[in-house]
């Protein structure tokens, strides 16, 4: 079963990466980690990601250049292993929160098991962006990729598996929303569950104790 899951994931990855040479890949809350493998080895290549919003004027200006960048890298540097991608932060708040996106557009390059942020004051023309993606990033500061917690990673894996089942996918999205954006509520739920578990175990002990006494009397 696990082998089939790995094969399925590999096919999906190849279908995305096969078009990456000339097309901007849309990353989402659901597929970001599976495609980029940002915190698990980055074996799918270097990912140059534009965190943007369709409502942002600067993002609108960058959009056509970002598409041109994908085309030029695909044609002129097909062996660079650089994948050009974008994240709509309005539709994908979990990814935006994970990478602490505060201003738009924010451009990050995921490479060599780390993440580099493109200088927000630097030119956003195609040539400087291409130079950065092809090696210029190495002169910048390498930061550690924010890892997902065990629970969030588990939820993402489950959501990937039940993608076709909308009710289950929505339920998992709600659970992830509580863990990421309503941490007080998540703590309260865990605390209530912990107390309930203790009370439940005590109730079982009492029932078991009473049953033992009845057996002895008989």
- Tell me, what's the pLDDT at 182? 55
- Tell me, what's the pLDDT at 51? 98
Rounded CA gap, 62 and 107, in Å? 11
- Tell me, what's the pLDDT at 190? 55
Those residues with Cβ within 8 angstroms of residue 185's Cβ, 6 or more apart along the chain or in another chain: 178
Beta strands (DSSP E) in the chain are 25-27, 46-52, 82-88, 106-111, 114-117
Rounded CA gap, 216 and 156, in Å? 52
Pick out the chain residues at pLDDT < 70.
Answer: 1-22, 148-166, 168-199, 202-203, 208-218
- Tell me, what's the pLDDT at 104? 97
- Tell me, what's the pLDDT at 1? 47
Q: Are 36 and 44 in contact (CB under 8 A)?
A: yes
pLDDT in tens, 31-78: 998 899 998 877 889 999 999 999 999 999 999 999 999 999 999 999
- Tell me, what's the pLDDT at 19? 47
Rounded CA gap, 143 and 136, in Å? 15
- Tell me, what's the pLDDT at 39? 86
């Amino acid at each position: 079963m696990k082998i089939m899951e790995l094969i399925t994931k590999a096919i999906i990855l190849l279908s995305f990466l096969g078009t990456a040479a000339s097309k901007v890949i849309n990353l989402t809350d659901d597929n970001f980690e599976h495609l980029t493998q940002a915190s698990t080895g980055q074996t799918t290549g270097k990912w140059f990601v534009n965190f943007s919003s369709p409502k942002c004027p600067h993002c609108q200006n960058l959009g056509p250049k970002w598409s041109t960048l994908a085309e030029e890298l695909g044609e002129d540097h097909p062996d660079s292993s650089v994948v050009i991608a974008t994240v709509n932060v309005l539709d994908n708040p979990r990814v935006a929160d994970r990478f602490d996106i505060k201003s738009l557009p924010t451009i990050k390059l995921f490479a060599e098991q780390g993440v580099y942020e493109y200088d927000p004051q630097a030119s956003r023309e195609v040539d400087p962006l291409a130079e950065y993606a092809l090696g210029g990033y190495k002169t910048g500061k390498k930061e550690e990729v924010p890892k997902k917690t065990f629970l969030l990673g588990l939820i993402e894996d489950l959501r990937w598996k039940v993608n076709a089942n909308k009710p289950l996918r929505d339920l998992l999205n709600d659970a992830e929303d509580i863990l990421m954006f309503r941490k007080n509520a998540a703590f309260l739920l865990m605390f209530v569950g912990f107390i309930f578990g203790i009370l439940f175990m005590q109730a079982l002990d009492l029932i078991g104790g009473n049953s033992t006494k009845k057996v002895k009397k008989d």
